[in-house]
Amino acid sequence: MLAGDAVAADAAAKRALFATTAAQAIDLESGGVARVADLHGLPFAVVRAICDPAERDLPPAALVALDRAGAIGFLAVLRSVARRPGQIPGLLALGRDAARARRGLQGVVCGSP
């Protein structure tokens, strides 16, 4: 797991990160928490569910979807889709993968499938 500071948005960037780090995934959120835990000698573990496979590019709307509070900014998504409607199949695939990842994560955390 790579504690990154930027999204790897396309398959080429994901391949390059793997080639240089051997990381199977990039995590933007947990690295800071891990550093603080380490600084204070606290144990830390992260469980992540990945919804964008390495071989697939993220649709542009996915890159503008979350606002600063982590909520989905529907207007930003709609604007992006209006500019590039060809990304709709990719967004639908990402949505399906995100739902599957969420179910898997719930199974790990809650102990049920």
* Region of residue 3 (left: phi > 0; alpha: psi -120 to 50; beta: else): beta
Task: Produce one character per residue of 93-111: b if its CB has 16 or more CB atoms within 10 Å, e if not.
Answer: ebeebeeeeeeeeeeeeee
Residue 32: the pLDDT is: 86
Residue 85 and residue 62 in contact, taking contact as beta carbons nearer than 8 Å? no
Residue 112: the pLDDT is: 63
Residue 19: the pLDDT is: 95
Residue 14: the pLDDT is: 92
Question: Residue 54 class from Cβ within 10 Å (0-12 exposed, 13-18 middle, 19+ buried)?
Answer: middle
Please tell me the pTM assigned to this model: 0.75
Residue 11: the pLDDT is: 92
Distance separating alpha carbons of residues 47 and 105, to the nearest angstrom:
8
Average pLDDT for runs of 10 along the chain of length 113: 87 93 88 91 89 90 84 90 96 93 86 65
Specify the DSSP class assigned to residue 40.
Answer: T
